[in-house]
């Protein structure tokens, strides 16, 4: 993971604020792991592990989230250990090529960060 400075985070915010959350994730991964290629083709679990690692390194291991109760719609907040998510191994027998999206597009970061 590349060491990111305050200016890098400001640049990420400026470039990512109008993007879809999935594209924001691709942008952040590309900024932190510039040697990585075809990030949009990564399995979702691999992308989420990279984002969890990035969050833990710069913002701490506590992740806060929320979901809605499927029965009444009430918002339920929860906390989890981001390190546990970052260190989650890929599922046994998982074939990344099998899950790559045929419509995967170039991460916005590759176009916007040059």
Q: Is 76 near Zn ion (CB under 5 A)?
A: no
Q: Binding residues for Zn ion, how many (CB under 5 A)? A: 4
Is the CB of 3 or the CB of 76 nearer to Zn ion?
76
Report the residue number, 71 or 98, with the smaller CB distance to Zn ion.
71
Judged by CB, which is closer to Zn ion: 7, or 66? Answer: 66
The least CB distance from residue 69 to Zn ion, in Å, is: 3
Element (H, E) at 80: strand 75-81
Closest CA to 112 of 4, 14, 2: 14
Alpha-carbon distance of 87 to 108, in angstroms, equals 26
Among 72, 91, 97, 111, binds Zn ion (CB under 5 A): 72
32 alpha carbon, distance to own chain's centre: 10
Nearest to 1 by CA among 24, 30, 41: 30
Mark the segment that binds Zn ion (CB under 5 A) among 25-33, 66-74, 78-86, 101-109.
Answer: 66-74
């Amino acid at each position: 993971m590349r060491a990111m400075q305050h200016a890098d985070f400001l640049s990420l915010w400026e470039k990512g604020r109008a993007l879809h959350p999935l594209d924001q994730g691709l942008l952040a991964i590309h900024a932190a792991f510039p040697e990585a290629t075809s990030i949009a083709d990564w399995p979702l679990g691999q992308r989420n592990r990279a984002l969890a690692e990035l969050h833990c390194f710069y913002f701490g291991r506590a992740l806060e989230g929320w979901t809605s109760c499927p029965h009444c719609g009430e918002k339920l907040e929860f906390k989890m250990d981001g390190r546990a998510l970052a260190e989650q191994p890929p599922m046994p027998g998982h074939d990344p090529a099998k899950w790559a999206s045929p419509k995967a597009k170039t991460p916005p970061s590759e176009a916007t960060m040059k």
